[in-house]
Amino acid sequence: MLHAENLACLRGERVVFAGLSFALAPGEALLLTGANGAGKSTLLRLLAGLLRPAEGRVLWNGAADGDVPLRYLGHADALKPAFTAAENLGFAARLAGVPAVRVAAALAAMDLTPLALLPARALSSGQKRRLALARLALDGPGAVPLWLLDEPTTGLDAASVERLGALFAAHRAAGGMVIAATHLPLPLDAARELRL
C-alpha cells in the first residue's frame, strides 16, 4: 500500500502544494487532475523518488525511505533513436532484469510487432509513445506494483488508448496500482480523482 502523508512541495519560493495526503491500495487507480502548473508532474516525480518533499513523507507498506517497486513514465518517451523498437525494449528489459523473451509480448501489447525492426527515429510521435508504454508490459501484470504515468495518452489514437486500457485492467487485476496525471479521460474504471 502507498501512503502519502502531508506532502508539501516548493518550486523556488512558491508553494506548489501543501498538506497533501492520500492512500492507494492494491488494484486501485488515482487520477491527478488540475490546471497546467498545478503540480501533477511534480507530485509524480516526488512519488518516484526523483524529488524530495519540502514536508511530509511517502510510505510504502508502512515503511518510509524504502525502495518503492515502480515504473515511471514522464513526458519524454526516453527512446534511443538509432535503436529499433525491439532493441529499445530489449535494452529496457536488460536494465530491469526482465527476460528478453518478454520483449515480443510487450511489443504485441501495444500493437508494435509490425514495427519491431524500425528504428525509433522513423516512428510517428504516437508510435513512439506506444513504444514507451510497451515498457509497462515487460514485467507482466502486477509484477511491478506501482505505475506512475504523466499524460500517458499524449499522441495516442483511440485504438491505442483501448490497448492501454487493457494493460491497466490486467495490471490492476493482479494487484497493481496506477497513478496518472491527465487532462483527458483515461480508461481506468472506478479510478479516484485528486484535483490539484
What is the Cβ-side half-sphere exposure of residue 126, based on CA atoms within 13 angstroms? 10
pLDDT of residue 22 exceeding 70: yes
By CB atoms closer than 10 A (0-12, 13-18, 19+), residue 83 is: middle
Region of 27 (left: φ > 0; alpha: ψ -120 to 50; beta: rest) is: left
What is the per-residue pLDDT for 63? Answer: 81
> How much is the pLDDT for 45?
95
Instruction: For the chain, give the percent of residues with pLDDT over 90.
Output: 89
Is 129 a residue whose pLDDT tops 90?
Answer: yes
**pLDDT score of 88 more than 90:** yes
List, for residues 72-84, the tens digit of each pLDDT value.
Answer: 999 999 999 999 9
The reported pLDDT for the residue numbered 67 is 75
Looking at residue 133, what is its pLDDT? Answer: 97
Please report the pLDDT score of residue 66 as a whole number: 66
Note whether 109 and 137 are within 8 A (CB): yes
Kindly report the CATH number assigned to the domain that includes residue 76.
3.40.50.300
Segment 138-159 shows an average pLDDT of 94
Q: Which residues form the domain of 94?
A: 2-195
- Region 124-150: mean pLDDT is 95
Model confidence at 128: pLDDT above 90: yes
What percent of the chain has a predicted confidence (pLDDT) above 70? 99
Assess whether pLDDT exceeds 80 at residue 65.
Answer: no
Number of compact structural domains in the chain: 1
pLDDT, one tens digit per residue, over 24-40 is: 999 999 999 999 989 99
Angle, helices 158-173 vs 102-109, to 10°: value is 130
> What per-residue confidence (pLDDT) applies to 142?
86
